[in-house]
Structure 1
Amino acid sequence: MEPQELNELFKKYEAGTLSDQEKRLLEAWYNQYAMENRGQLDHEELEERLKSVANKIPVSYQRAKNQKMYYRVAIAASILIGICIGTWWYHHQTETEHMVVKNEILPGGNKAVLTLADGQKINLSETQPGIILKDDIIYYEDGSTVSDPEEQKEQIAFLELTTPPGGTYQITLADGTKVWLNASTTLKYPSQFSDQAREVYITGEGYFEVMPDANKPFKVSSRGQDVEVIGTAFNVSAYEGEPEVKTTLVEGTVKIVNSESGTTNRLHPGEQSTIINGNTHIAPVDVSAYTAWKDGLFRYNDQSLEAILRNVSRWYQVGIVYKNDSLKEERFVGMVSRYDDISIVLGILEEVGNASFTIEGHTVIVDKK
């Protein structure tokens, strides 16, 4: 790739205008560069070369528990650089010692089931990223028809979009609001919104970009809370069986209503509400750590191994068994692609922490090194 072309791709990335094809091109360039130099360069030399090419600030992978640096890679807040270096580091380490892997476990992908008002279930195409609801007809994003239920026209019908473990899907609702669903998530929504309000229900995790409409506020109801907005972008994580419900605001303003206590809190961009044991807590956070999943990444900023492996479990459809519970509280900072093999994801965690991983069937066994 010519230097001028590479520079243009970096500019587009920073502006957020990279197409899918351009992302793949930039990722391929980094992967090729790192792999071609794997045998000739040590880790520090590769870091310096990539830093000089990207001219960005490196991101550190570390154990946040004691702030001791274990290794540093020149990923510079770039999604694609992060994917490349994580892959390079993992493959480099396979020449020495590494975790025990007894079979291949592949990442998730576009998988979802659409349930119509009459109970009919449609397994949605895995080659399509999402569906669009328009004029009571459901289309794939390429314009082909999913469903055209004549009997549901002229009336409001509730539908459900469900992603299984290892699944993700997008939907554009009747008002133009876009929702990304993470794995093991169900979104219940109407075929059309009423004249007074817009309301949907979610269990699991979803990222919302709400179409502004001052006359019809948008409400997202989940376990323990209601999120009320007019037009904004935010992430809701409300999985059954998890102790906390988290709402992370990217832009705009939202109102969080605690269903148990009745208290109301207003979030501003860069803030997160956490509801636990009936109480609401507000704190500033690194928003990207909670929204990166919709862009195909695991990204963590001082998060526990237990929380990280919950996400890994849902995405790769594996069970997690701890031989030592103290490992659950180890904390990590870092980033890796959700579309890498699970051995790469666990390999990075193993290199920088105190845990070792063994994959047996569809179970990950976590033990101390």
Structure 2
Amino acid sequence: MDQNRLDYLFSRYTAGEATPEELREFDMLVQQPEHETVLHTKIDQLFLATSGTATMPEKAIQATLQHITGKPASSSVVRYLRRSWWAAAVGLLLTGSSTWLLTRPRYEMVAPLADKAPGSHKAVLTLADGSTVALDSSGQQVIGQQQTTIRQSGGQLQYSVQSPGAVASYNTLTTPRGGQFRVILPDGTIVWLNTASALRYPTAFSGADRTVELQGEAYFEVAANATQPFRVKTAAQEVHVLGTSFNINAYTDEANTVTTLVSGRVKVNTPGKDAGVMLEPGQQAIAAHSGSQQLSVTRTFAPDVIAWKNGLFLFDNADLATVMRCLERWYDIDVKYEAKPDIHYTGQIARNQPLSKVIHMLEQTGQARFRLVTAGQGHQAKDMIIILE
């Protein structure tokens, strides 16, 4: 093989700049015994240049084995590995720019990800007959359904009931990760549906109340109607409303379902229990997803809670995992933790920023390092944020 080719691939690999094709080629080469001596020399040179020593420290070997096997290594294993060239390679690349390449399974190719666009107005509308309509920010259409007309204008749906005696059927509006949408229900209630969420609702409110079902997060501005109360059901809470505005965060990957009242009054209870709590503006009702179903009430600054509706990420001493879950949903990206430092963030970031800018802002705090990659190939490829040691 051409020595220059191996030099080139090694350089691209360690800089984290290799293409998927180059990664596959390099992956095959490092497993061939005839290249061991050359690679050993190159790794020694790079290890010496980055650490000032050509001998891998015992603590580095211990950390490497702990990272790979999940178990501490015995002293005899460490002494053996210090003489083994592959241990130096593992230690070097774990502490260098290619951590995310070396520690992934052999069959899963990983390449740098230049950037990721922010989320946008997009959703899927499921009609009563099970058919679906894809919605995006550019759509302009009218959808007829029995005695109800549905108009899409950009990132908004609006329902109009053509007959007072219209028979209700159910629709579901679902936003994917990286999507959000707004819907005006038949009674005039406006709902902003956040990313990775779903709202099920009737096409006409003809019963004693107006009941909708929510998964994920949404902000409601409910049209007043004292004779027909509005009700929102989630897995952990039920919210009873006359006419008010409030936010519900019911993501299943969060620890709690949280209802925040912006204006008016609402009653919140847990499913199957009539007793509940009355909220005043600026209060939250919190129901844990595990353990006791007891509701707790706290005060908050409501405009911060609905910042997402106004195009902002707003973090108030939020831990790293909370911040990453927000980015996962909005940028349709997965997060892998090589490290999980105990750090918190306070501040606001516009949701229309590309992911690279958001990551850059987080890195400016000096508390953690991140890398954007694409893992896998073809239809199984997935964009990821790697949180580095």
User: Partner residue of 1:137?
Assistant: 149
Alpha carbons 1:108, 1:167 under 8 Å: kept: yes
1:199 aligned to which of 196, 200, 211: 211
Rg larger in 1 or in 2? 2
1:331 aligned to which of 332, 335, 344: 344
User: Partner residue of 2:11?
Assistant: none
Distance in 2, Cα, partners of 1:173 & 1:102: 40
User: Partner residue of 2:118?
Assistant: 107
User: Partner residue of 1:230?
Assistant: 242
The alpha-carbon deviation at position 182 of structure 1 amounts to 0.6
User: Which secondary structure does the structure 1 equivalent of 2:364 belong to?
Assistant: helix
Distance 1:132 1:244, change over 3 A: farther
Distance in 1, Cα, partners of 2:339 & 2:155: 51
The amino acid across from 2:305 in the alignment is: Y
2:262 aligned to which of 250, 263, 272: 250
2:128 aligned to which of 106, 117, 121: 117
Alpha carbons 1:224, 1:275 under 8 Å: kept: yes
User: Partner residue of 1:44?
Assistant: none
Q: Report whether the alignment pairs 1:364 with 2:368.
A: no
Distance in 2, Cα, partners of 1:179 & 1:317: 22
User: Partner residue of 1:354?
Assistant: 367
Tell me the TM-score normalized by structure 2. 0.63
Q: Report whether the alignment pairs 1:296 with 2:289.
A: no
The alpha-carbon deviation at position 140 of structure 1 amounts to 1.7
Distance in 2, Cα, partners of 1:111 & 1:226: 27
Distance in 2, Cα, partners of 1:142 & 1:284: 36
Alpha carbons 1:131, 1:170 under 8 Å: kept: no
Distance 1:143 1:321, change over 3 A: closer
The alpha-carbon deviation at position 133 of structure 1 amounts to 10
The amino acid across from 1:313 in the alignment is: E
Distance in 2, Cα, partners of 1:282 & 1:129: 42
User: Partner residue of 1:283?
Assistant: 298
Alpha carbons 1:296, 1:338 under 8 Å: kept: yes
User: Which secondary structure does the structure 1 equivalent of 2:287 belong to?
Assistant: strand
Q: Report whether the alignment pairs 1:220 with 2:235.
A: no
Alpha carbons 1:130, 1:171 under 8 Å: kept: no
Distance in 1, Cα, partners of 2:225 & 2:192: 20
**Mean CA deviation greater in 134-143 or 272-281:** 134-143
The alpha-carbon deviation at position 213 of structure 1 amounts to 0.7
User: Partner residue of 1:126?
Assistant: 137
User: Which secondary structure does the structure 2 equivalent of 1:343 belong to?
Assistant: helix
Distance in 1, Cα, partners of 2:156 & 2:173: 18
Distance in 2, Cα, partners of 1:256 & 1:143: 30
Distance in 2, Cα, partners of 1:357 & 1:142: 34
Tell me the TM-score normalized by structure 1. 0.66
RMSD of equivalent CA atoms: 3.1
Distance in 2, Cα, partners of 1:293 & 1:130: 27
Equivalent residues in 2 for 1:83-98 (5 A)? Answer: none
1:341 aligned to which of 348, 354, 369: 354
The alpha-carbon deviation at position 240 of structure 1 amounts to 2.3
The alpha-carbon deviation at position 141 of structure 1 amounts to 3.3
User: Partner residue of 2:166?
Assistant: 154
Distance in 2, Cα, partners of 1:311 & 1:292: 12
Distance in 2, Cα, partners of 1:335 & 1:130: 35
Deviation by residue 1:121-149 (Cα, 9 ceiling, x = unmatched): 00013225999999610002379999999
Distance 1:299 1:132, change over 3 A: farther
The alpha-carbon deviation at position 261 of structure 1 amounts to 5.7
User: Which secondary structure does the structure 2 equivalent of 1:171 belong to?
Assistant: strand
Unaligned ranges ≥5, structure 1: 1-99
Distance in 1, Cα, partners of 2:309 & 2:318: 18
User: Partner residue of 1:313?
Assistant: 328
Distance 1:358 1:200, change over 3 A: same
Distance in 2, Cα, partners of 1:208 & 1:219: 11
Distance 1:194 1:250, change over 3 A: same
Unaligned ranges ≥5, structure 2: 1-99, 101-111, 375-382
Alpha carbons 2:158, 2:186 under 8 Å: kept: no
Q: Report whether the alignment pairs 1:273 with 2:285.
A: yes
Distance in 2, Cα, partners of 1:173 & 1:313: 29
The alpha-carbon deviation at position 310 of structure 1 amounts to 0.4
Distance in 1, Cα, partners of 2:268 & 2:156: 37
Q: How many residue pairs align between the two structures?
A: 266
Distance 1:129 1:262, change over 3 A: farther
The alpha-carbon deviation at position 321 of structure 1 amounts to 1.1
Percent identity over paired residues:
34
Distance in 2, Cα, partners of 1:343 & 1:281: 38
Distance 1:140 1:121, change over 3 A: same
The amino acid across from 1:338 in the alignment is: R
Distance in 1, Cα, partners of 2:299 & 2:140: 31
